[in-house]
Structure 1
Amino acid sequence: MGAFDTLRIANTSLGAHQVWLDAVAGNIANVNTVRSTDQDAFQATYVIMDGLEDGGVDVTGFAKSDPEGRIVHNPEHPLADEDGYVRLPEIDMSAQMGQLVMAQRGYQASVQMTKTAQDTYTAALQIGSR
């Protein structure tokens, strides 16, 4: 492993966790998005990551939740059909909050790894300059 591999690996992790945070934020922001029953529900986005042979991580794709969502009786809503139903996304808020915590912790760990590697490299350079 080269001298700067730690920084490169941490950087891949930072990028992947940022994508994960963005996806979870979008899901949470749209948990109450109402659509008419003749439209698809908002589809939550789930990030698919894969480890790389060199120790990094890569976002390899995205998965979407079921467009059927759930049908809810809400006759006062302007998008309600003639029977009073609307379509909401099938998003479990507690699961999204768990995903948010994991993504935040992963991002924080990557930031700390980057800082530690930078401090180590700086100290090594100072030793060499004496």
Structure 2
Amino acid sequence: MSLSNVFAIAGSAMNAQTIRMNTTASNMANAESISSSVDSTYRARKPVFAVQQMPGSESLPADAPDAGRGVQVLGIIESQAELRQEYSPDHPMADENGFIYYPNVNVVEEMADMISASRSFQINTEIMNTAKQMMQQSLSLGQ
């Protein structure tokens, strides 16, 4: 694997973590939104990742570890966990039975996801910086 592949792999990981941070931020922004029906209530969203074959890694054996492979985002799915329901007949958004509905967003879990995504992004930035330094040092060997 060449150093140029390192940039593509780290870049794909940074892209995936950016999407993860954006969906987490969206979840946290909507955590306390109220709705009058189950169908219109916001549901937590999570990105789905998969291993991506990077250009130049075709020569790797099929049973090799995932070295030389990047990350791709397959899509974003909505959580099927139960919504939080609260009886509040005086609330203006209450349904005909007096219930209001809150999203199935766990703010503590979302904060942990945000920290993890941020740290992964930082690590991939460090990987790119290290690869850049290695390329610069290899160029200066011939001087």
Q: Same fold (TM over 0.5)?
A: yes
Shift of 1:38: 5.9
Among the aligned pairs, what percent are the same residue? 26
**1:79 lines up with 2:93 in the alignment:** yes
Structure 1 distance, partners of 2:48, 2:39, is 26
Q: What are the ranges of 5 or more consecutive residues in structure 2 without an aligned counterpart? A: 54-67
Secondary structure in structure 2 of the residue aligned to 1:37 = coil
Paired with 1:116 and 1:19, the residues of 2 have a C-alpha distance of 24
* Greater RCO, CA 8 A, separation 6+: 2
Instruction: Measure how far apart 1:126 and its partner are.
Output: 2.2
> Could you say if the C-alpha distance between residues 38 and 46 of structure 1 is closer, same or farther in structure 2, counting changes exceeding 3 Å?
closer
Structure 1 ranges of 4+ moved more than 4 A: none
TM-superposed CA distance for 1:86, in Å, is 0.7
Larger helix share, 1 or 2 = 1
Alignment RMSD (CA, Å):
1.8
Q: For the residues of structure 1 that align with 2:89 and 2:132, how far apart are their CA atoms?
A: 59
Matched residue, 1:12: 12
Q: 1:62 aligns with which of 70, 76, 80?
A: 76
Q: Relative to structure 2, which stretch is displaced further, 23-32 or 81-90?
A: 81-90
Q: Which runs of 5+ in 1 are unaligned?
A: none
Q: How do 1:7-46 and structure 2 match up within 5 A?
A: 7-37=7-37, 39-46=39-46
- SS, match of residue 52 in structure 1: strand
CA contact (8 A) 2:45 2:78 kept: yes
- Structure 2 partner of 1:49: 49
Q: Which secondary structure state, in structure 2, belongs to the residue aligned with residue 4 of structure 1?
A: helix
